[in-house]
Structure 1
């Protein structure tokens, strides 16, 4: 007489929720991109060299001829300049995001990701997070170079370590927001070369039509009005105040009077809008 026993039922693991799965998948994709970046050190090297060149050129070539308020002292221009260089550096990561995503699209890697049971936005989120990590490294090196050439936080106003870290936080948030613009561009073009051009060409008017490199009070009224309401200018002005390098009195425009809040609002709106558009484009693009 045999005794039959029933196997104990095997309980399948409960599937993770949408947010949890999206977070995990994004980290996996981010890790993949970081490993890829570490195996191509030229990407990081060239990403550091360009902003360092901007620091040296603007400091020593234009420093003695730029007027900040009523001063043409090169030291005043150095302290005025650095917030603009930092902001320009984090936004230029947009081109790398666009080119990287376009390259993955061209090689068919995105199609393979799309066939896997993973969150739809994870591919793009992972890419932008990896680019943010690379931007952190570049920004750290650039800050050291800025200190070497004579940048001094607290030269024109109060500051402390917390305010300086808050300024760099705003810079990274702006950079992260702009990488989503790059993601949308990368999904919208057919080649990495086009993505590189499309990812950087529009940044020049955005960064130069601002208060980053020139005192906006020296501009014609209509140009100054555009510069004062430029989201890029808001972050630059916020960083100057937090660094203790305001240099000049801001205009009466709301973003210049409330630059920290304006920077936060602008960056978060850009993230929400362009992440939504990029994920929608990702779902439709083959």
Structure 2
């Protein structure tokens, strides 16, 4: 009578081990995206150039005229202090286009299908893009802030207020990255992916970034006061310059949280749908 040899089943991965593996995969994807940024710096330069040009244009071309409408002494220095928080906010949103393009490139050029044949966590692919975008935006924020200080921006923020302001900006960049990743997944071409996030990147200008909403026509003023970027901008202005924040801080955090949740669940659902056989 023969005796069958039983091969013991391999133990299933524990939740902790699976989480650790997913983290390693995410770090690998993040390093991949950072390597792409270093080899092809044109996209990083492009997201730096737009807010930088806007900063110089509004300060040196329109600053003298617009400064008279914001109170204080009405000179260019007052306007620089008013404008810079809005430009920094725009810089935080500018990484959305680069994220959408890089995600769309991966989806349309077949690299994601090759990743599926490897033992890589699905979520790590998107996570690498998102955290790579946040790091890219962080570098742009550092440069824009440095230029602003050189041309006359004079904040009176304490170190804690600086940390709070930069934390809010990176939280916003995190939400914008997830949202633009979803747009990149849904886009059929790189061109359409680059156009999809553009309205979001320019939405700060229809708020309090450049001029006070009180100076706008009634309908536009109502939109400027209640759109997502105005409370974020006013919170930054309060942290940098000591102006009244009021409820804007909590509203800003609520909008950023909503962007993160919307972008995360939308991008994950779209990604899983695209990978469905």
TM-score in terms of structure 2 length: 0.88
Match of 2:228 in 1: 231
Taking the TM superposition and a 5 Å limit, the aligned residue runs for 1:214-225 are 214-225=211-222
CA distance in 2, matches of 1:115, 1:228: 49
Aligned with 2:97 (options 79, 95, 98): 95
| Aligned counterpart, 2:56 | 56
Alpha-carbon displacement from aligned partner over 1:111-142 (angstroms, at most 9, x marks no partner): 22233333332211110100111111111111
Q: Which position in structure 2 is the counterpart of 1:43?
A: 43
Mapped to 2, the partners of 1:122 and 1:39 lie a distance apart of: 21
Matches within 5 A, 1:1-286: 14-15=13-14, 17=16, 18-66=18-66, 67-69=69-71, 72-154=74-156, 159-204=157-202, 206-244=203-241, 246=243, 257-286=246-275
1:175-206 C-alpha deviation (Å, 9 max, x unpaired): 111111111110111111110011214432x2
User: How far apart in 2 are the matches of 1:273 and 1:80?
Assistant: 31
In the alignment, the residues of structure 1 paired with residue 216 and residue 100 of structure 2 have an alpha-carbon distance, to the nearest angstrom, of 32
Q: Is the Cα contact below 8 Å between 1:98 and 1:196 reproduced in 2? A: yes
Supply the distance in 2 between the matched residues of 1:181 and 1:71 (Cα, whole angstroms).
Answer: 41
| Distance in 1 between residues matched to 2:216 and 2:71, nearest whole Å | 12
Once the two structures are superposed, residues 41-94 of structure 1 have per-residue CA deviations (whole angstroms, 9 ceiling, x without a partner) of 233233323222111111111111111146532111100101100111110211
- Give the Cα–Cα distance (whole angstroms) in 1 for the partners of residues 124 and 180 of structure 2: 16
Contact 1:102 1:195 in 2 (8 A): yes
**In 2 relative to 1, CA 46–273 (structure 1 residues): closer, same or farther, beyond 3 Å?**
closer
Deviation at 1:221, TM superposition (A): 3.1
Q: Structure 1: which 5+ runs fail to align?
A: 1-8, 250-255
- How many Å separate the matches in 1 of 2:268 and 2:118? 16
CA distance in 2, matches of 1:203, 1:138: 14
1:244 Cα shift? Answer: 1.5
Range with greater deviation from structure 2 (193-202 or 11-20): 11-20
CA contact (8 A) 2:185 2:267 kept: yes
RMSD: 2.2
CA contact (8 A) 2:86 2:233 kept: yes
Higher mean displacement: 194-203 or 230-239: 194-203
**Scaled by the length of structure 1, what TM-score is found?**
0.85
